[in-house]
Amino acid sequence: MTASRRDLTLALALAVLAALVFAPALGGPFIFDDHPLIEGNAQVHTLAAAKSWFTSDFWAGIHVPNRLHYWRPLISATYAIDWRLAGGAPLQFHITNTLAHVAVTLLAFVTLRRWTSQSWAAFAATAVWAIHPTKAENVAWIAGRTDVVCMLFLLVAAAGMARRHRGVLAAGLALEALGTTGAYMCKEQAVILPVFAAVEAWVALGRPPIDRAAVRPLLRAMVPQTAIAIAYVAIRAVVMPIASPATLSLANHVRAVLETYGRFLALTFAPHALSIQHALVRPHDGSFVYSTPYIALGALGFVATLAAIALLRRRAPAAAVGIAFWLATIAPTLNIAQTSQQTLVSERFLYVPTLGLALVLATVLVMLSPAARRRALLLLAAIGLALMAVGVSRAADFAEENAFWNRELRLHPDSSAGLDYVMTSAIQHRLLDQIADLTDRDKDQATFAADVLELFTRTVPDRDPTVLRGLDASTVALLAHQQPQTTLAAFGITVVVDMGPAFAIAPVEARIHAARAELAGRLGDMATARTEATAEAAACASCSHATRTRALVEARAAALGPPAEADAGFARALALLAPDDDELRARIAEARKAAAMLAETHGAVQLQARASELSALGLWGAAYKVLQPRFGEITMLSHATTSFAKLAFRAGETADAADALAAAMPATEVRTTLEGWARDFGWLPPVAAASGQ
């Protein structure tokens, strides 16, 4: 067999291997960040939004607590193309991820063959790299594709550098420019391109020992890409800063870096307990919690890594280069630069750096004697099979969302994302049960529509104003009664209401006006809220509820209006109430008292008074927005954390509530606390009713 045919056969084998290991995820749904980034993001549902991909943050318009600011227009483009091809079917996105990983695997093989000049060693090392279980997060999780597509362009740029060094200047520059541009449009990790430039220059020099004479040309080779990286970082610092720094002390910062490195080493050499949320950053009793064993491993790992580079730079320069590549390319994800990121480690960050360790593996195989090499290959095959088994199992985790999050919560009971998912699912199932009961009970569509509307209005939190606006639009359609059908949608549930000739709006008109007044008030549209409250009273002049609606609208208008007019507004609201309406009277009085404190206080006390004013009137979302900027400070105060978490939960910010509770109680108690609050708010059935089912 000729060398070219042999290489083609090896490449085909790698392609099949890379695709098969993570195939169990192909039929999986959107999971975690896939929902806001793709499924619910209108900007990637059409190619017409292309301009926005380049001019705005990757997460623009998407509410994510403590998020960083990214610029990834090419990734948004891949999402939009997938959406256009399959109308939003997750299968297409999974196919793209798999094909991208196959393409990167083939380029990694070509790259390692160039770096080692040995096809068989490059094949063995690439195979281990491609099937490593940590790659599941990149391939099986749709949103994990950023590293995959970025590495695709990094390797294209490296191929261009290699061509330049061989004297093919025009083609080399074109490939390098293409790869560099593409990589920077995929992910900030492109700043590691100077490392690829150094390795390609070292290969072009004949893979010499790493001494002073060799270092100089390598540094010169890095200059162009280093200049690009510096310019990119400088521009981003002005135009779109990644994030404001976290407020960690020097000691905690060092602990974070060491723990991060320790966890990366453990995941690389002993992949276990694979999770999408490693090492969650949690303050507890005023201090951050870190893992001492991983900190120790990280410290020892740093020493061992640097010692290995120093010892091998002359004896086995290729191995030294591979280790240096690992350290240099993983450095941007070691939390050396402080950010507000809530996880220390993500498995997907190992996608590029492990190529350096693949170079080390290939180098070791080449250096062994034939007999030792055969034994090493047999051992490597056994290790490969074990890695494949773990990789297949991990890919299968992404095939079903309930199983995915249940596993995450077993590993991390206080995972805010996991708790957000299970709580939302529980509420959704409760709503479906209630809607089923209404379907059996209600004899006409108008009553059914009013009951479902009230159910949704009472349950849907303020987190996503889009849902509130959708319900508001549905109330308008119901009142107009000009369409054959309308829909009521919340929590991923869509209810179709038949508004045919038998639809009689009159008996429920007051209830629908009341619901719209509530929705408008929570959206801050007090003019519409007043109009609807008046319409409710007109539709049912004798209804006590209409009086309550008007009083609540007036109180909310006072709270959201000019501070100087607030007290008079609260007085008008109280005057509207019946003498025996003690519950709402007490709430409005509480809001009035809190409003009076605003002029007499400042700082944190003033913010708390404002939040109390809004909370008393059921404006939970607005109240939480007042305190959310002080999230970090509040969660450091044990006496305030639980009440703050309850406010966040009532506003629908389950993830923030879980994060806050994690600072105040053991992880195993967070879920129980959230479920208890959900029952208090009527979102879940009482424990006795639930246990009897």
Question: Could you report the per-residue pLDDT of 618-643, keeping only the tens digit for each?
Answer: 999 999 999 988 877 777 776 788 99
Q: Give the residue from 345, 465, 417, 343 showing the smallest Cα distance to 31.
A: 417
When mean pLDDT is compared across 309-313, 413-417, 580-584, the lowest value belongs to: 413-417
What CA–CA distance (Å, rounded) separates 488 from 399? 30
Q: In sequence order, what are the residues at sequence separation of 6 or more whose Cβ sits closer than 8 angstroms to the Cβ of residue 356?
A: 321, 322, 323, 324, 325, 326, 327, 329
Q: Which domain holds residue 177?
A: 149-158+169-239
Most confident of 14-28, 410-424, 662-676, 677-691: 14-28
Residue 189 identity (one-letter amino acid): Q
- Residue 610 within a domain: no
DSSP-derived 3-state class of residue 274 = coil
pLDDT of 180 strictly over 70: yes
Verify that 175 and 274 share a domain, yes or no: no
Tell me whether residue 513 is in a domain.
no
Tens of pLDDT, residue by residue over 108-158, are: 999 999 999 999 999 999 999 999 999 999 999 999 999 999 999 999 999
At 647-683, the pLDDT tens digits run: 999 999 998 899 888 888 888 899 999 999 999 999 9
DSSP state of 345: E
Same domain, yes or no: 280 and 230:
no
The answer as to whether 131 is a domain residue is yes
SS3 279: strand
pLDDT band at 1 (very low <50, low <70, confident <90, very high): low
Asked if residue 306 and residue 227 are part of one domain, the reply reads no
pLDDT at 691 over 50: no
What does the alpha-carbon distance between residue 17 and residue 124 come to, in Å, rounded to a whole number?
A: 12
Give dist(CA 87, CA 102) in Å, integer. 24
Same domain, 2 and 136: yes
Asked, for residue 641, whether it belongs to a domain, the answer is: yes
Domain membership of residue 455 (yes or no) is no
Instruction: Tell me: do 424 and 404 sit in the same domain.
Output: no
32 lies in some domain: yes
Mean pLDDT, residues 551-575: 95
Q: What pLDDT, on a 0 to 100 scale, did the predictor assign at position 629?
A: 84
Same domain membership, residue 300 and residue 229: no
Mean pLDDT of 598-616: 90
The structure tokens listed for 607 are 């913010």
Judged by DSSP in three states, 487 sits in strand
* 397 confidence band (pLDDT: 50, 70, 90): very high
Q: What is the dihedral of CA 480, 481, 484, 485, to 10 degrees?
A: 70
Q: Flag whether pLDDT at 224 surpasses 80.
A: yes
First vs last C-alpha separation in the chain: 68
Those residues with Cβ within 8 angstroms of residue 215's Cβ, 6 or more apart along the chain or in another chain: none
Taken in order 169, 173, 176, 179, the sign of the CA dihedral is: negative
Is the per-residue pLDDT at 356 higher than 70? yes
Average pLDDT (312-337) is 95
Q: Where are the alpha helices (DSSP H) in 2-144?
A: 3-21, 34, 50-55, 73-86, 90-116, 119-131, 136-139
Q: What pLDDT, on the 0 to 100 scale, is given for residue 547?
A: 92
Interval 159-188 mean pLDDT: 97
Residue 214 has pLDDT above 50, yes or no: yes
**Mean residue pLDDT across the chain:** 92
Residue 500 has pLDDT above 50, yes or no: yes
Phi, psi of 635 (to 5 degrees): -75, -10
* Residue 292 sits in the same domain as residue 310: yes
- Say how far apart CA 37 and CA 64 lie, in whole Å: 10
- Strand, coil or helix: 521: helix
Q: Would you say residue 215 has pLDDT above 50?
A: yes
Domain boundary among 181, 212, 239: 239
Beta-strand (E) ranges in 335-402? Answer: 343-345
Within 8 A by CB and 6+ apart from 641, the residues are 634, 635, 660, 661, 663, 664
Burial status of residue 71 (CB atoms within 10 A of its CB: 0-12, 13-18, 19 or more): buried
Helix (H, G, I), strand (E, B) or coil at 402: helix
Examine the pLDDT at 692 and tell me if it is beyond 50.
no
| pLDDT given at position 283 | 58
Number of domains observed in the structure of the chain: 4
Map tokens 């690389």 to a residue: 268
Does residue 232 share a domain with residue 277?
Answer: no
**CA angle centred on 100, ends 78 and 339, rounded to 5°:** 70
Place of tokens 């507890």: 284
Looking at the structure, tell me whether residues 30 and 114 fall in a common domain.
yes
Q: Tokens 């109240």 correspond to what residue?
A: 623
Mean pLDDT throughout 577-583? 89
In a shared domain, residues 213 and 271: no
User: Which is more confident, 572 or 290?
Assistant: 572
Q: Are residues 395 and 419 in the same domain?
A: no
pLDDT of residue 246: 60
454 falls in which pLDDT band (50, 70, 90)? very high
The overall longest dimension of the chain from CA atoms, in Å, is 97
Question: Which percentage of the chain shows pLDDT scores above 90?
Answer: 79
Whether the CA torsion 163, 168, 169, 170 is positive or negative: it is negative
Residue 167 one-letter amino acid: G
Q: Is the pLDDT of residue 693 over 60?
A: no
Q: 354 and 305 share a domain?
A: yes
Is 462 strand, coil or helix? coil
Per-residue b or e along 550-570, where b marks 16 or more CB atoms closer than 10 Å to that residue's CB: bbbbbbbbbbbeeeeebeebb
Q: If you average pLDDT over residues 374-382, what whole number do you get?
A: 94
Report the relative pairing of strands 287-288 and 283-284 from DSSP bridges: antiparallel
Angle at the Cα of 310 from the Cα atoms of 309 and 315, rounded to 5 degrees: 85
454 occurs within a structural domain: no
Is residue 690's pLDDT more than 50? no
